[in-house]
């Protein structure tokens, strides 16, 4: 049941002046979680909860918690959008390389689970096939051959798995890949 004297406005129009003055005076309009706090207060008004200073303090806590959850969710979406934008270009490049077969040497970063293979090839199509991987596994392509491959292996030696071309897909390697794709994008 909604509060008899107040109708909840749509989410865009939430504002303190429409709240009862004694409630509005207890909410900091400069709080970063202000809109989420108002949503909680409006829900409480709709449930005919009697407002005391303790109830308002609870509404503020709930609003801040809601705001924090929404902020984490927003950041995850933002990261996902950046990752998607960043990850599409190497896959497209890999598909082109696979279509043409032989090409100038490239150093590749291939993802396989929690590992990444850093190697070089002049025929990505054949290399992916030999590893039973697909263009979607390509995280990064860098022009170069054996010398560039050795540089990349040395850069991430702390994450190397044995004496192989496989490395742990660490946050440092992920950050490097993201920076490379963005800077050459």
Rounded CA-CA distance 125/146 in Å is: 18
CA distances from 7 to 10, 13, 33, 92, 146 (A): 10, 12, 21, 52, 70
Is residue 157 within 8 A of residue 110, CB to CB? The reply is no
Q: Can you give the pTM of this predicted structure?
A: 0.52
Q: How many residues does the chain have?
A: 185
Domain borders along the chain are: 11-76, 101-184
Measuring CA to CA, which residue among 177, 91, 76, 175 is closest to residue 134? 91
Tokens found for residue 158: 């702390």
Q: What strands, in cross-sheet order, belong to the sheet with 138-143?
A: 138-143, 102-112, 115-123, 166-168
Q: How does pLDDT run along the chain (185 residues), one tens digit per residue?
A: 333 333 333 333 444 446 677 777 778 878 888 888 888 888 888 888 888 888 888 999 999 998 888 888 677 655 554 444 445 656 666 667 666 677 788 899 999 999 999 999 988 888 988 999 988 888 888 888 899 999 999 999 999 999 999 999 999 999 898 888 877 65
In the beta sheet, which residues pair with residue 140? 109
């Amino acid at each position: 049941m909604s509060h008899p004297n107040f109708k909840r406005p749509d989410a865009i129009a939430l504002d303190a002046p429409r709240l009862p003055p004694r409630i509005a005076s207890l909410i900091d309009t400069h709080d970063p979680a202000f809109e989420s706090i108002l949503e909680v207060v409006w829900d409480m008004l709709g449930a005919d909860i009697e407002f005391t200073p303790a109830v308002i303090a609870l509404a503020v806590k709930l609003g801040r918690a809601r705001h924090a959850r929404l902020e984490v969710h927003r950041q995850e979406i933002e990261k996902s959008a950046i990752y998607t934008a960043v990850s599409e270009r190497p896959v497209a490049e890999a598909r082109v390389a696979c279509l043409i077969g032989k090409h100038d040497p490239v150093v590749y970063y291939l993802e396989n689970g929690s590992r990444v293979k850093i190697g070089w090839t002049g025929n990505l199509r054949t290399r992916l096939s030999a590893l039973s991987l697909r263009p979607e596994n390509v995280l990064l392509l860098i022009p170069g051959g054996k010398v560039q491959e050795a540089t990349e292996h040395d850069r991430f030696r702390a994450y190397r798995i044995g004496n192989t071309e496989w490395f742990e897909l660490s946050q440092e390697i992920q950050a490097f890949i993201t920076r490379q794709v963005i800077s050459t994008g």
